[in-house]
Amino acid sequence: MVNDRQRISILPSFYDEGGSRIADILFETSDIDQLREYLVSQNVKVEFGDARTKTNPFFTIRDPEDHSIGFVQYVTTDKKEHPSNQVSAHLIHAGFIVRDRPAMEHFYKDILGFRPYWHGGMKDDETTWVSLQVPDGTDWLEFMLYDPTGKDKHFLGVMNHIALGVTDIHAAQEQLRKNGAPLTEEPKIGRDGKWQLNLYDPDETRIEFMEFTPVQKPCCSEFTAPHPKP
């Protein structure tokens, strides 16, 4: 549990030959039935996960590049005590490899209502990362515009990642050290102007720790939507 409304699930048997390291990404909705009706009206095929559940109903769909995207309506939430050594209590974004940017942007922006947040790359005149925020919040998806053909496990783990928000990257680094995390990198200011620190789990999937707000002007483009908060 990241917090009472967010969780990370680890599926040891999952592996996508097409390059993804993420089995599903689920978003919260306030009306699961209304959302389902809307998606059906947009000719989006709905795949129910467990339609029988009476607590937190959900369903999944497939985006244009066959990522499994789900929606859940919380009727009840798990109120649990979080450990004192937890480094972050807010998952702020997930990223995955994208090949066809126009098709994916049409789906997420025009059908699902996501809105632009920021875009950039390693060079000022290129775009290899595209961030789109959810319609009614500040968390976002990050499109990693790369060709995964022939790429190794580490590359796929870097690109298909999750990011956890922190208020102080150096305090997060210190807590990770106390927790015995295998840190191989130092904090740095990313191209978006935010402090960040990368950690790699035993399966070489990247866990990105990122401060909620930038400390300097971003490259490539301005932010066009509000930043997340702790």
Per the structure block, which two tokens stand in for 181?
């995390």
Residue closest to 204 by CA, chosen among 223, 222, 226, 184 = 184
| Stated pTM of the model | 0.93
- Each residue's pLDDT tens digit, 160-211: 999 999 999 999 999 999 999 999 999 999 999 999 999 999 888 999 999 9
What is the C-alpha separation between 37 and 44, in angstroms, rounded?
A: 10
The domains of the chain, with CATH numbers, are 25-72 (3.10.180.10), 91-211 (3.10.180.10)
What is the C-alpha separation between 102 and 44, in angstroms, rounded?
A: 17
**What is the predicted pLDDT for the residue at 110?**
98
Task: Give me the numbers of helices (H) and strands (E) for the chain, helices first please.
Answer: 4, 12
- Each residue's pLDDT tens digit, 41-70: 999 999 876 655 668 899 999 999 999 999
**What is the predicted pLDDT for the residue at 79?**
78
At residue 14 the predicted structure's pLDDT band, cuts being 50, 70 and 90, is: low
- Within 8 A by CB and 6+ apart from 181, the residues are 199
- The single-letter DSSP state of residue 109 is I
Per the structure block, which two tokens stand in for 135?
């319609």
What is the C-alpha separation between 60 and 27, in angstroms, rounded?
A: 10
* pLDDT, mean of residues 104-127: 97
